[in-house]
């Protein structure tokens, strides 16, 4: 499997704070990879560094091209999408207006249409004329995910998509991520819930103190009680 993303020796800084310490990760085409770890270990910083939002050194290659030094909007145009934890919707615009804003702007037709989004999440179609600010947390999460897809990315990085959601909606998010994989889209999932990560991922990374402390299959992590106890369990 060829890699769509290769991160090597990544160091990231907030002011004088050294947050990431030589992180290496890879993601293959059409692969779901989960990044696990407790809050504050640098997972979100890693994703933001890849997206050009944090001062970083090292190498971030996407489809063989170096991304470090590019601005976030330039990286997005290359086909890399980022869904932040805070569900960045436009609250005064309707559901449908939010989705249309996410569409690829180069005039080409992407892999996904409004019809696809509504088929995946019928609830969004029911609410398509409602201002996004009036949606529930689960509905806003669906909208954020779908709006990112409308840009037709090749890799989508999603930060804590199941945070605060009911189990039924978490199951919907899992189905959504598997649907992306079927379309050949790669996923980097930043997650705290072990169950969803182990269920849908091809590989998992565990982060601790700004470094990768484990890389392997979900089965390998299930079998490694030491890593789970030291770096994941509360």
Share of the chain above pLDDT 70, in %: 97
pLDDT for the residue 162: 85
pLDDT, one tens digit per residue, over 19-68 is: 999 999 999 999 999 999 999 999 999 999 999 999 999 999 999 999 99
Please state, in angstroms and as integers, the Cα–Cα distance from residue 124 to each residue in 44, 106, 175, 206, 228, following that order.
27, 25, 16, 34, 37
pLDDT for the residue 58: 98
pLDDT at 103 over 90: no
**Beta strands 3-14; 17-28: pairing state:** antiparallel
For 27, list phi and psi in degrees, rounded to 5.
-135, 130
Nearest of 170, 221, 234, 216 to residue 40 by alpha carbon: 234
Confirm whether pTM is higher than 0.85. yes
Fold annotation for 1-79+155-164+187-234: Rossmann fold (3.40.50)
Contact 210, 19 (CB under 8 A): yes
pLDDT for the residue 108: 56
pLDDT for the residue 27: 98
């Amino acid at each position: 499997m060829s890699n769509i993303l290769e991160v090597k020796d990544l160091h990231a800084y907030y002011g004088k704070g050294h947050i990431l310490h030589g992180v290496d990760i890879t993601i293959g085409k059409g692969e779901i990879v989960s990044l696990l770890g407790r809050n504050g270990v640098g997972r979100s910083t890693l994703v933001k560094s890849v997206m050009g939002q944090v001062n970083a050194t090292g190498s971030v290659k996407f489809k063989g091209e170096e991304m470090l030094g590019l601005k976030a909007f330039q990286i997005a145009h290359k086909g890399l999408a980022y869904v932040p934890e805070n569900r960045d919707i436009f609250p005064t615009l309707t559901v449908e207006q939010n989705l249309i804003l996410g569409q690829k702007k180069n005039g080409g037709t992407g892999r996904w249409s409004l019809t696809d989004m509504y088929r995946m999440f019928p609830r969004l179609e029911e609410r398509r004329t409602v201002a996004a600010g009036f949606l529930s947390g689960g509905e806003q999460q669906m909208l954020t995910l779908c709006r990112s897809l409308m840009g037709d990315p090749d890799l989508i990085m999603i930060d804590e998509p199941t945070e605060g959601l009911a189990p039924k909606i978490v199951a919907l998010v899992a189905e959504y991520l598997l649907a992306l994989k079927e379309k050949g889209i790669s996923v980097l999932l930043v997650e705290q819930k072990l169950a969803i990560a182990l269920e849908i991922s091809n590989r998992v990374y565990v982060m601790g103190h700004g470094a990768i402390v484990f890389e392997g299959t979900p089965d390998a992590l299930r079998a490694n009680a030491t890593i789970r106890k030291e770096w994941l369990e509360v």
